[in-house]
Amino acid sequence: MKKNEKIICHCNGVSIKSIVHAIQKGGVVDIADVQRFTLAATGCRRCFPQVEAIVNLEIERLKLVGFQLKIDFKDNA
């Protein structure tokens, strides 16, 4: 992580850029995925509303530009 990146989750040192990258490149589609892949909002959870807002904004932005999001169609039987 670069020095000029804005940290959103201080407990786990997760930057906004890391969250956006997880969504754009890692197939993350919701706040639970962000928590699993980046550990953001899993410590004290004070940043949870901010992380959730970033996720929602980025997902909406990607929908507008036509990216397809992953959908898990696995049979859980």
How confident is the model over 17-55, as pLDDT tens digits? 999 999 988 878 899 999 999 999 999 999 999 999 999
Strand stretches in 6-73, DSSP E: 7-9, 14-15
Banded model confidence at residue 5, pLDDT cuts 50, 70, 90:
confident
Please state the pTM of the whole predicted model. Answer: 0.77
Question: Can you say how many angstroms the Cα of residue 47 is from the centroid of all Cα atoms in its chain?
Answer: 12
Q: Provide the 10 A C-beta neighbour count for residue 13.
A: 15
